[in-house]
Amino acid sequence: MVNSRTPLIAGNWKMNGLLGDGRARAEDLAKRMQGAANPGFEMLLCPPATLIAGTAAAIEGSGLLLGGQDCHFNSGGAHTGDISAAMLADFGCSHVIVGHSERRADHGEGDDLVRAKATAAIEAGLIAIICAGETEAQRDAGKTNDVVAAQVRGSVPDGADGSQMVIAYEPVWAIGTGRTPTEAEVQDVHAMIRATLAEVTNDATAQSCRILYGGSVKPDNAAGLLALADVDGGLVGGASLAAADFWAIAAAIG
Ligand code: 13P
C-alpha cells in the first residue's frame, strides 16, 4: 500500500440478503464508520439491486460508499431485467463492479462487454471496479500473468484515469474457497497489473489507480495482504456479510 492511494475496502454481497438483514448490516457498519474519527480508508458496500435503496437510507451521512454489482452498457431502453449506470447513480451509488468472474462465467461476459460496461459507468459519473483473474487451470498452466494482463488490456476503457476506475484482481480459484495466493504472488500480479496499466493508459494513471485484491480475504489474512506495496484495498465477498468481520478487515490496514 502506498500512502498516495487511499485504501478501498469493498464488500460484494453478491446474491445474498433480504431487506431485514441487509439493513441491519448496513446500519451496524454505518455506526462503526461514524465512530471512527479518522478511518484512513474508504469503505464501499455493494448490495444486490433489491437492497440498494434500503442500504442507501441506512448509511446516509455515515461516510460509507454505495455501489452496484453490475450495470448495462446502454444508458436505457429495452433491456428487461437490466440496470443502467445512471439508475445506480440516481440511488446514490458512486461505484459499480463490472466483469466479476461470476458474471463472466454465469453470463458469458467477455472483455469487450466489460469494457463497454466500464465506459457506461464512467459516463454516468461512477467509478468502475473492473475485475480480472485467472482460473485454477490457467494458474496451473503458468498463464496467470498472460490471462490477467489480457483481461486488463481488453477491459479498461480508453482514456480512463485513476479517479474513474479501480482494478480488482480476483483469482477465480481463491473466491469462496478459503485459499489465497501467497503474499509474494499477490504482489507480483498487482505489480504486473500496474505495469500493464502504464502501457495501456499512462504512468500517472497507473500510479493513481487503486488495485484491490479479492478472493478469501478474511480478518486473519487481511493485514498481510493489505500491507503489500501494490495492494490498495480488498474486494471482499463472504466476509463482508458479517459486519464485525468486514470491519475487522478494514481495521487491519496498518
Ligand atoms: P470471497 O471473499 O467470498 O472469496 O469472494 C471474493 C469475491 O468474489 C468478491 O468479489
pLDDT of 134 strictly over 80:
yes
- The Cβ-side half-sphere exposure at 142, using a 13 Å CA radius, reads 0
CA of 100 to the centre of ligand 1 (A): 10
Residue 113 pLDDT: 98
For 39-63, write each residue's pLDDT tens digit.
999 999 999 999 999 999 999 999 9
Parallel/antiparallel/unpaired status of strands 233-236 and 95-98: unpaired
Residue 2 pLDDT: 75
Q: Let me know if residue 219 belongs to a domain.
A: yes
Residue 153: pLDDT band with limits 50, 70, 90: very high
Q: Which atom of ligand 1 is nearest to the CA of 131?
A: 10
Structural domain count, the chain = 1
Task: Say which residue the cell 459486519 belongs to.
Answer: 243
Q: Let me know if residue 136 belongs to a domain.
A: yes
- Rounded CA-CA distance 117/97 in Å is 9
Q: Let me know if residue 142 belongs to a domain.
A: yes
Residue 37 pLDDT: 83
Q: Quick check: is 170 catalytic?
A: yes
pTM: 0.98
pLDDT of 254 strictly over 80:
no
Q: Which residues line ligand 1 (CB under 6 A)?
A: 12, 100, 170, 175-176, 214-217, 235-239
Q: Which atom of ligand 1 is nearest to the CA of 174?
A: 4
Query: What CATH number is given to the structural domain containing 95?
Result: 3.20.20.70
Active-site residue among 42, 72, 95, 100?
Answer: 100
The total of other beta-carbon atoms located within 10 Å of residue 230's CB is 21
Q: Let me know if residue 20 belongs to a domain.
A: no
Q: Which atom of ligand 1 is nearest to the CA of 100?
A: 10
Q: Tell which phi-psi region holds residue 154, choosing left (phi > 0), alpha (psi between -120 and 50) or beta.
A: alpha
- Give me the domain span that covers residue 171: 67-76+85-235
For 81-117, write each residue's pLDDT tens digit.
999 999 999 999 999 999 999 999 999 999 999 999 9
Q: Let me know if residue 128 belongs to a domain.
A: yes
For 162-199, write each residue's pLDDT tens digit.
999 999 999 999 999 999 999 999 999 999 999 999 99
pLDDT of 124 strictly over 90:
yes
* Helix (H) or strand (E) run with residue 30 in it: helix 19-35
Q: Let me know if residue 242 belongs to a domain.
A: no
